[in-house]
Structure 1
Amino acid sequence: MDVSTKPLSYELLTEVGRGTYGTVYKAREVDGKERLLAVKKINIHAHTAGEGIPAFMIREVALLRKMNYFDHPNIVKLLEASAVTDGRNLNLTLILEYIDQDLSTYLDKVPASGLSRDCIKDMTQQLLQGLDYLHSNMVLHRDLKPDNILVNSRGEVKIADFGLARIYTFNIALTPCVVTLWYRAPEVLLNSVYMSSVDMWSAGCIFAELFLLRPLFKGFTEVQQLQKIFEVIGLPDKEDWPADSPISYSVNWGPKISSIKLLNNLGPEENNLLSQCLAFRPSSRISAAKALAHPFFKEH
């Protein structure tokens, strides 16, 4: 499947989100299908338009086109992309499949009794299937969080927002400021090199949040975020500390505790999967493919 060559005709219905670079609208396709669409309009003003389309926007369009070619059910679909000039301004429009809520909104509506184990299992499995697909195609999402995971009315989970995603190649120069703070892996917080395992850390944080109905690590600075992580998983051994990190190892970072059981309200299988997602050493962290084979999913 490729992005359609025939322009889509649509009418804008309502604004659903506004960010630094543009606005997202709910729209309805006209001339036939009447399906709902998400229209992302990005305006690049004259003072920056001369520099061309920003790199992150090019990456997002290119990666969504690449993902669409294989048409994976757990990746949001890009239906059309266009760029037009308006005077000295540049207007970029992305038309994507419409999904009415993200995971953050979904969790806000969950009753205090929480989600069922089967529901958590199903949503986590879909998230991991999407991640396994991305990583198999050498794509790092780098900003996995509930706001960037969409959930439709049928309970289908789709990974969205590829503005920070990158194609991974050997020795790639990767920027340290990626992933929203609460879902950021220790190696990123420590300004160390990182790979696709950063997405698995974020997935582990989201997995825990499905049980807790709140973020697992809610720090407000990078130092505080590291401290909150070590309060749960325990301070690693000095030899596990990344050698390329400019931040020094210290016994004052957190307690030396066992991380066999991270959360008291989780059963042994859930805790085992969570502890493998939240392993401090990236090389020890479970991959999406291996996580999908975990006993937690066997009966699903």
Structure 2
Amino acid sequence: MTLKRIPEGTTFVPATPDQEKRLSFDAPGLTVQDREKADLQTRCALMKQAVEEARLRAEAAEAYEKGVTFASSGSLGASSPLTVSQAVGKWCKKAERPESCVRLAEALARLESRGALKTVESDSSSEEALPCPDLHPESYARFHAIDTSFSVEGGLKQLGNVDELRKQLAAERNQLRLWIIKAKQDWEERKGHRGETNEQEYYIASIGETLGPNRDYQAEANIGKGVFSSVFRCKHVGTKTDVALKFVRSNKMMRKAAEKEVETYRKLAKVAAKEDHEGAQYIMLLAPPETFDHQGHLCLVFDLLKCDLRTALTKYGQGKGLPLQTVAQYARQLFLALRCLRKIKLIHGDLKPDNVLITLSKTEIKLCDFGSAMDVGEAVKTPYLQPRFYRAPEVILGSGYDTQIDLWSSGVTLFELSCGKILFTGKSNNSMVRQMLEVSGAFPKRLATKGEFHAKHFNSEGEFLLHDPTSITGIRDILPMKRYEKVRQPVGNMLDQVFKNPPPNSDPKTQERLMPRVADLVAKLLVLDPAERLTPEDALAHPFFQKDK
């Protein structure tokens, strides 16, 4: 493959403000302002922005590399030299690649029209041939087009180690994840109290107000607000379809967090159903047109659902839990959703009753709020991932973790659905560990003595260090694990209240039949060792979901 240097004196069409702002596949063009006098930092910033924002990096990179390689070898059957975009387009069509790769070919074609890329000759022995670095191809294409004096070879030399750039990008992504986690933690801590939330950043729609770029939606009711957004029930003026519009706060970091969440939803829409069609049905996705901007607020569009499970516990369970037959129905769907996430190696990271929605028919649930979601390979270590009451022990200790942390949260959620009570209510991570010991038994020494944060809770012998916030001396009590070899508060005992105070509309015989089963399922989901904890597949095979003949 031969890439043509941009001729000296070449000028570029200035980008519109919108094009400058959105360096992604969805941008109307690849034009950038002339960067002839820009320094290296500016160039790197543009390149990093393109890499961070572009979706489907791996597929597009493969299409770029394979298209050029196949064209060079003659495998695409072309009788004459192909342009890079033609090569990529032909390979995408031959390999049945998705539309994103086709858009890549179109983007490259626009560069070719400006003379930035050359045709791919069958003979690739040219001395100037340069292998494509392992970066997003569109970013690589932009890299050539930044200014007239910035050649490929010289640019790479100036950038130095591309691996360092990747590391820097990864660090920035991790910083954003940590910021999201911290923001959610602070929001939970401030609930019910006056905090520092800037109310002016929220969008407040008036009832009857028309919203959207074409005024397609009419606001009908305020659903609520969270740390990142305000949500309104709206109706599409033309189709009369009910939707939920989520308006992100007018805050730079909040918007970046929301854009990350949108990327996750788009990934789910692309791969979830392919990996697990059944499980994908119980995962919330964006509804057309997915997003739009309204008065400086990014807006996400969702189908309108009934309510979340916490609201359902109050409204339908009256604080006594839901009928166990209903719990089984919802729990099975939740484990199907978690099975799907496990297959695509995506951690939800924020599973709790608030983030499980019930459909309007009340027969199905949808797992929602993927703002904290991350790929297993990109998991960040912080003791504050997940809501505290639903936080897995491996997160608290700073051990390596994966999708199994969501199974722990599902166990706590399942307990709550069954009786209406929150299982763990520790005011700190240390008090959470204390309560876990009571319910799940002793921590194995190999778990208690490893992890980035384990020393905050266990000594070198694996004995628990109890922190008493009322202590004057600050000396911690040492509680040996022998004390917890036998579970002190079995889940089954705590669920006995289901019989004593059953939820409305529950059948006594069904409650009696299912109670020991749900207690056993919860106990197996709350195993301290994630390797011994039930997987979604294990949970789905549990007797709790079996129908008696």
The normalised TM-score by structure 2 is 0.48
The residue type equivalent to 2:258 in the other structure is M
1:163 counterpart (371, 393, 405): 371
More divergent stretch after superposition (129-138 vs 139-148): 129-138
Which of these two proteins has the greater Rg computed from alpha carbons? Answer: 2
CA distance in 1, matches of 2:486, 2:215: 55
Q: Which has the higher contact order (CA 8 A, sep 6+)?
A: 1
Q: CA deviation at 1:176?
A: 3.6
1:120 aligns to what? 327
Q: Give the helix-richer structure, 1 or 2.
A: 2
C-alpha contact 2:248 2:255 (8 A) present in aligned 1:
no
- Give 2:522's aligned residue: 274
The within-5 A match list for 1:158-237 is 158-169=366-377, 172-237=379-444
Task: Tell me the residue number matched to 2:312.
Answer: 106
Determine helix, strand or coil for the equivalent of 1:39: strand
Mark the runs of 5 or more structure 1 residues left unpaired by the alignment. Answer: none
Shift of 1:64: 1.2
Residue correspondences, number? 286
Any stretches of 5+ residues in structure 2 without a counterpart?
1-98, 100-212, 465-477, 497-514
> Aligned residue for 1:24?
231
Quote the Cα distance in structure 2 between the aligned partners of 1:178 and 1:238.
23
Bigger mean CA deviation after superposition, 239-248 or 268-277 = 239-248
Deviations 1:175-215, CA, capped at 9 Å, x for gaps? 44211100000111122221111000000001111122011
% identical aligned pairs: 27
User: Separation in 2 of the partners of 1:17 and 1:240?
Assistant: 40
Please give the alpha-carbon distance, in whole angstroms, between the structure 1 residues aligned to 2:395 and 2:232: 33
Q: Give the strand-richer structure, 1 or 2.
A: 1
TM-aligned CA deviation for residue 230 of structure 1: 1.2
Out of 250, 253, 256, the residue aligned to residue 484 of structure 2 is 256
Match for residue 286 of structure 1? 534
Separation in 1 of the partners of 2:544 and 2:401?
27
What whole-Å deviation, never above 9, does each CA across 1:100-154 have from its counterpart, x for those lacking one?
3111000012146643221111111011111111121111100001111111242
Using the alignment, how far apart are the partners of 1:277 and 1:95 within structure 2?
33
Q: Is the 8 A contact 1:261 1:272 kept in 2?
A: no
- Aligned residue number for residue 290 of structure 2: 81
Residues 233 and 257, structure 1, Cα contact 8 Å, conserved in 2: no
Give 2:244's aligned amino acid.
A
Seen in structure 2, the aligned counterparts of structure 1 residues 204 and 30 have a Cα distance that, compared at 3 Å, is same
Verify: 1:91 aligned to 2:297, yes or no.
yes
Could you tell me how far apart the structure 2 residues matched to 1:113 and 1:22 are? Answer: 30
**Among 131, 139, 142, the residue aligned to 2:346:** 139
Distance in 1, Cα, partners of 2:222 & 2:285: 20
Deviation at 1:274, TM superposition (A): 1.4
User: Contact between 1:140 and 1:199, CA under 8 Å: does it hold in 2?
Assistant: yes
TM-score of the two chains, using structure 1 as the length reference? 0.86
Aligned-residue offset at 1:10: 1.5
Specify the SS of the correspondent of 1:283.
coil
**Equivalent-residue separation in structure 2 for 1:261 and 1:227 (angstroms):** 14
CA deviation after TM superposition for structure 1 residue 23, in Å: 1.0
